[in-house]
Amino acid sequence: MSDAAQPTAAEVRAAAEAVKTALDRHLAAVERRSGEEDPAVYEGFNQLAAAAEAYDELLYDRYDEVTPFEIPGDDSLPPYTGPEEPNAISVMIRRDYAVAEPQRLLAQAQRVEAADSDAVLGTAEGASGTVHGAIGILFGEFEPDEIASRHKEFGLEEGDSTLWVTAADEPADPGDWLDAPFEHVDPERVVCRFDVSAVFDEEDEDLDGDLEEDEDEDLDEDDFNAPLDDEDLEPLDANDR
């Protein structure tokens, strides 16, 4: 970063003071919390995270120094504020796939297209002649859950997926949200969500690896081969036999 764009020492100091203020506010909110999902604690956490991140950036830009704090990604949901007895729910699903085997994808789409019409297999005249056309055919023919369970047959490789269930006071009018189905999602009305990602598997593997290393360190080979002293051998009581 150029000298002209660097923050001033006063700006860094002000950011540090903002962190101190945010710390006090967060602690005060925690001390007064009314439950496990107190909105004041949630807000205090977010303010503290934002202040710490801003300070960290300014400190690095000005002095090429960092803090020991790690700001976690905000992948949690705010406290639920929707209706206690929802009259309607919306289920939003996102599933990501990589097109791992395009030829398998094309072949499956061509079979569907051939069964539904007089199209000739292997020609590019039908929609199945292109990858994006084949995707349209398959998703038009099969339910998303069936594609998810048979993704390998269609030449797809699973990526991350998530499912959100949101609550509503009343059902939406027909056609009301079709132009922008995912635009107005209120996180405070999410009843539950379920995420699937390879990241979670990697974290579990790292944890298992750390545990195995700890066990290996605790159990030394000499512990198995060391001779027993007489004092280590206690006579059995008659009741123990």
Residue 116 confidence (pLDDT): 81
Strand ranges of the sheet holding 190-196, from the earlier edge strand across to the other edge: 88-99, 156-168, 190-196
How many other CB atoms sit within 10 Å of the CB of residue 42? Answer: 16
How far, in Å, CA of 124 to CA of 97, rounded?
A: 24
How far, in Å, CA of 67 to CA of 55, rounded?
A: 9
Residue 68 confidence (pLDDT): 84
Residue 199 confidence (pLDDT): 80
SS3 104: helix
How far, in Å, CA of 114 to CA of 207, rounded?
A: 50
Per-residue pLDDT of the chain (241 residues; tens, 9 = 90+): 445 578 999 999 999 999 999 999 999 999 998 887 788 888 898 899 899 989 999 999 999 998 887 766 555 677 888 898 999 999 999 999 999 999 999 999 999 988 886 544 444 456 678 999 999 999 999 999 999 999 999 999 999 999 999 999 999 999 999 999 888 788 889 999 899 998 876 655 655 665 566 555 555 545 445 554 544 434 444 444 4
Q: Write down the residue that tokens 């048979």 correspond to.
A: 150
Our separate counts of H helices and E strands in the chain read 7, 3
